[in-house]
Amino acid sequence: MDISGSQFSQCNPVGQFAPLEELLEITRNPKRFTIGLPTESDPFENRILLVPSAVAQLSANGHQVVVQRKAGLRSNFTDQDYANAGAILVESTEEVFQCDVILKLTAPIDSEIALFRPRQILISSIQFHRHCKDYFRKLSQKRISALALELIRDDSGMYPALRAMSEIAGPTSVLIAAEYLRHPEYGRGTMLGGVPGVNPSQVVILGAGTVGEFAANTALAMGASVKVFDDSVTKLRSLQINLKQTLFTSILQPAVLSKALSTADVVIGAIHSKQGRTPMVITERMVGSMKQGSIIVDVSIDQGGCCETSIPTTLANPVYQKFGVTHYCVPNIASKVPRTASYAMSNIFTPIALNIGNEGGLENTLRQNQGLRLSTYLFNGILTNRVISEKHQLPFQDLDLLLATLR
């Protein structure tokens, strides 16, 4: 048999058989972790990342969940709820921070950073713009791996944590506005919706993203007249399609916006900036032209606010008035409904924790999961986020290249 013919020479130019490497299935050894849930240091953070049912699921898969006593009380989960789900209850933050994985909503404060040990995993929010260069140096010196929950992406490229909180913040912002609007001191003593023979309230929403869409849906359901502004025609079109009705929409043109604000009873600031501060689209002069007793709920205050007169407030003292207009500027509005928000967050982070265990650790998981790679800003103490690096002039290494060297 002639093996040098054209049939074989197309496969191998020299007409010889070439040995091939045998491809074997890579086996992964599932890893069991201790997962810590500390009490949040922020007195106004009422959510918790894992609810008792999630703890039961993790425990059933061999993981050990350590919960600091009273960590879930602000979300109406008792210590007994967690104990019944299989959690180990401890008294101190120090005991929780002995775990392999730390799950918390707010970024760790200095006293918590001091408790970290090398190769621990931290999953929390970070909000880069709120921290200085020294803060990231301290985290890096602890040689931990840290993931920003607000930067985690799913398979479709969406940000599930941000979307879940936005879906809560939208309706909640309208309900908050309705409560203050009917108040005789802070509002106008009127309903958000109308009744036969009485004009409905005028609601202006800035931003046609998830917060804006869900806020508009709630306001329309309550009978209000709604106007939505955004700098993207595509977003405005998508909002109308999703709401399945036609309503007033406009590009953010100052003259048109100013006219709408002068007749508005409620303004919802729902503009989101992908990087840095939210653009300020409502000037002080525009606020001065608004009706006495009207309400501004600036959901964008998490990123600095979209209103020139917005100043961050707290759940303890949520409102103030300027030019007779009531401002509600509490960051993290989703914490106003902590139990609902906790269930939403738990649905996101339980599969992530299980996946890290099933893949045999964070390193293998990051190789397989691009969404988690993009959220990782520290890997074993090495800064892997270019935005932080450029802002604070800190050394940076590409995570993909870093993982390739560890194979």
Which residues lie below 8 Å from residue 81, measured CB to CB, with a gap of 6+? Answer: 52, 72
Single-letter code of the amino acid located at 305:
G
List 211's β-bridge partners, or say none: none
Rounded to an integer, what distance in angstroms lies between the CA atom of residue 331 and that of residue 318? 10
Confidence of residue 16 (pLDDT cuts 50, 70, 90): low
Nearest CA-CA partner of 33 in 103, 101, 117: 101
Mean pLDDT of 67-72: 96
Q: What are φ and ψ of residue 267, in 5° steps? A: -125, 125
Measure CA 60 to chain center: 27
Question: What are the structural domains of the chain?
Answer: 34-151+337-405 (3.40.50.720), 162-336 (3.40.50.720)
On the question of pLDDT at 9 being above 50, the answer is no
Mean pLDDT of 12-20: 56
pLDDT digit string, tens, across residues 301-360: 988 899 999 999 998 899 999 999 999 999 889 999 999 999 999 999 999 999 999 998
On the question of pLDDT at 20 being above 90, the answer is no
Q: In what order do the strands lie in the sheet with 376-379?
A: 88-90, 64-68, 34-37, 101-103, 121-124, 145-148, 376-379, 382-383
pLDDT of residue 242: 94
One DSSP character per residue, 67-130 reads EETTTTGGGT--HHHHHHTTPEEES-HHHHTTSSEEE-SSPPPHHHHTT--TT-EEEE---GGG
Structure tokens at 254: 């100052």
Nearest CA-CA partner of 329 in 309, 352, 354: 309
Q: Residue 401: which region, alpha, beta or left (left: phi > 0; alpha: psi -120 to 50)? A: alpha
Single-letter code of the amino acid located at 83:
A
- Find tokens 């240091």 and name the residue: 41
Confidence of residue 23 (pLDDT cuts 50, 70, 90): low
In this structure, are residues 237 and 210 in contact, taking their beta carbons and an 8 Å threshold?
no
pLDDT digit string, tens, across residues 121-175: 999 998 777 788 999 999 999 999 999 998 899 988 889 999 999 999 999 999 9
In this structure, are residues 301 and 329 in contact, taking their beta carbons and an 8 Å threshold?
yes
